[in-house]
Amino acid sequence: MNTALMLGTIFVLLTVVLWGVVSQGKTWFLRRTVRVGDEVGSNLADLFIFISTQQVAALSALAVLALPVAVYVVTENVVLTAIAIPASLVAPRVIVRRIQSRRLHQIEKQLPDALLMVSSALRAGASFPVALESAAQESRPPISQELALLIREIRLGVDMGDALTHMEKRIPMQDFLMATAAISISREVGGNLAETLETVARTLRDKQQMEGKIRSLTAQGKAQGWVMTLLPVFLMVVLSHMEPTAMAPLFNKPIGWATLAVIAVMEFLGYKAINKITNIDV
């Protein structure tokens, strides 16, 4: 009787603990999904990609559930499935940051030409807002979208300095900060704004040419970093097909999982070290 009572008590306690864990996990998952939806939706709006927060949250939740299942169906490996769970949690933010980085890179390439367009319009006698509108019409996205938004804010009565500050927050680049600083200084102390913008454009173009030469010279080192990082993974895949019995403990036993964890950490540190050496900031 005492044994049955003890087992019943343990069962009830385990049920309560399991219910609490599931309830707290569900609450955390819902809060995280909403938070990721708000953050990603706001960032996408800055990229002129308009999607509702509910849709972003639904896609995020789907990724968290679908990616580990897909990895397990394809590989039937518990370790890779466990790795896919945190990867699915950070995937939405990583994708958005990648899109943001590509957009900023495109704006950086278009900025010298846009400044030269504004400078030419100013030399032709146009006012600064008219010169901005002309550059927005002649340019291609994404910089034309940012210039159009700047013009819209000015037309709505926003001060030029505040509008430029808003644009700086949307485009956090050193090159763009240089251009906005030149515009602000010319507006405050006077001077030939057309000549100033032309000088800034030439400086930025020379800087981009130098960065292009550096990327060409460091391309081999970056390729070596990828090769050194992916080579152990390639060898593990090949050996798993050639000697599945010998490689099985690496994926099925705790000592093998620990070895994989050490390999992953060392490979990550090696790649970051090579990337740090080859990433030269001008």
Q: What is the pLDDT of residue 231?
A: 85
Q: What is the pLDDT of residue 99?
A: 78
Q: How many domains does the chain have?
A: 3
Q: What is the pLDDT of residue 16?
A: 47
The identity of residue 275, as a single letter, is N
The tokens of 72 are what? 């397990």
- Which of 72, 98, 124 marks a domain boundary? 98
Query: Whole-angstrom Cα distance, residue 253 to residue 80?
Result: 14
Asked if residue 164 and residue 137 are part of one domain, the reply reads yes
How many residues in the chain? Answer: 282
Mean pLDDT by 10 residues, the chain (282 residues): 53 48 51 57 56 61 70 70 71 75 86 90 86 87 86 85 84 84 80 85 88 83 83 84 82 83 86 81 64
pTM of the model: 0.65
Q: What is the pLDDT of residue 43?
A: 56
Query: Whole-angstrom Cα distance, residue 104 to residue 280?
Result: 18
User: How many Cα atoms occupy the beta-carbon half-sphere of 120 within 13 Å?
Assistant: 11
Q: What is the pLDDT of residue 21?
A: 44
Question: Residue 145 falls within a domain, yes or no?
Answer: yes
Asked if residue 171 and residue 85 are part of one domain, the reply reads no
Q: What is the pLDDT of residue 220?
A: 81
What domain range is 155 assigned to?
104-210
Q: What is the pLDDT of residue 18?
A: 45
Asked if residue 56 and residue 130 are part of one domain, the reply reads no
